[in-house]
Amino acid sequence: MGKLKGKQYRELLEPLEVELVVMARWAAATGARILVLFEGRDTAGKGGAIKAVASRINPRQCRTVALTKPDTHEAGQWYFQRYVPHLPGKGEIVLFDRSWYNRAGVEKVMGFASDAEVEKFLAETPAFEKLLVDDGILLFKYWLTCDQEKQEERLAERLDDPLKRWKLSPIDLVARTQYDAYTKAREAMLEATHTEHAPWTLVDFDDQKRGRLTLIRDLLDRLPDTHVDPAEVAFEPLGHAPLKEEFGVIRPIEPFPV
């Protein structure tokens, strides 16, 4: 299967974007609460996938959550506590750019959590997620996969591109030497938390464009019938010639020179 070109990708993405907008309209009309977790290796493409899902949806309804490392106060809380305030409310769509699964991934591999803390997390997570699902939250968990060759290419690209260098952290550079360790951590996580009520879905992101399309199609297919007729809006003629902007106090700044 060949790598998707940009033009082909955009043509395939557009109808999916329409369906995502319809899905958002359905969520607003029914009060559905949609929660999507994006996990995976560094450089797999979580940010691009989230952008592809959210770009056409009203940002007041669809929000992305990307938490920094816990501060001293948060570190002393129940582990799941700082994630709870970000869960979706009625009619909301929330996309987690990494989630509570940090504990089973980077915290385990990099030694930020003890073995006992990781084991406790893996034991508690199915129960925590069952509470969410039983309360009506539609929970989707995606793990984005990529081979180490692709990971190395993308890390090098981040290093060379001043617009992407902010994505490259010291942890990323250390993590690249722990590819096998992350694989083992992922498998242990799946073994403990791939449940009937909150299953995992793995998506191949060696080709990020194809991966986005695959993920969005899967997400849409797993939702119930989301058709809701759009509200009718009467668009009447102005009844006069369109008005020009007028300025009294201050004027706009000079346009960007071309």
Give the domains, in start order, of the chain with CATH numbers.
Answer: 6-221 (3.40.50.300)
Q: What is the pLDDT of residue 232?
A: 78
**pLDDT-above-90 percentage for the chain:** 81
Closest alpha carbon to 42 in 163, 195, 192, 147: 147
Average pLDDT value for residue range 151-169: 87
Average pLDDT value for residue range 41-55: 95
Confidence of residue 167 (pLDDT cuts 50, 70, 90): confident
Residues 40, 46, 51: CA angle, nearest 5 degrees: 165
More confident position, 224 or 140? 140
Return d(Cα 54, Cα 36) in angstroms, integer: 11
Q: What is the pLDDT of residue 240?
A: 93
- Helix (H, G, I), strand (E, B), or coil: what is residue 95? strand
Q: Where are the beta strands (DSSP E) in 10-149?
A: 34-40, 62-65, 93-97, 138-145
Expressed in angstroms, the distance from the first to the final Cα of the chain is 42
- Helix (H, G, I), strand (E, B), or coil: what is residue 140? strand
Confidence of residue 131 (pLDDT cuts 50, 70, 90): very high
**pLDDT-above-70 percentage for the chain:** 100
Q: What is the pLDDT of residue 62?
A: 98
Contact 36, 198 (CB under 8 A): no
Q: What is the pLDDT of residue 231?
A: 78
Average pLDDT value for residue range 219-230: 88
pLDDT over threshold 80, residue 226 = no
**What b-and-e string marks burial along 19-48, b requiring 16 or more CB atoms within 10 Å of the CB?**
bbeebbbbbbeeebbbbbbbbbbbbbbbee
Average pLDDT of the residues of the chain: 94
Q: What is the pLDDT of residue 168?
A: 80
Cβ atoms within 10 Å, residue 134: 9
pLDDT tens-digit readout, 11-36: 999 999 999 999 999 999 999 999 99
More confident position, 170 or 74? 74
pLDDT over threshold 90, residue 172 = no
pLDDT over threshold 90, residue 171 = no
pLDDT over threshold 90, residue 215 = yes
Query: In sequence order, what DSSP letters do the residues of 230-251 get, joined into one string?
Result: PPP------SSPPPPP--SS--
Average pLDDT value for residue range 192-215: 98
Return d(Cα 255, Cα 249) in angstroms, integer: 19
Q: What is the pLDDT of residue 191?
A: 98
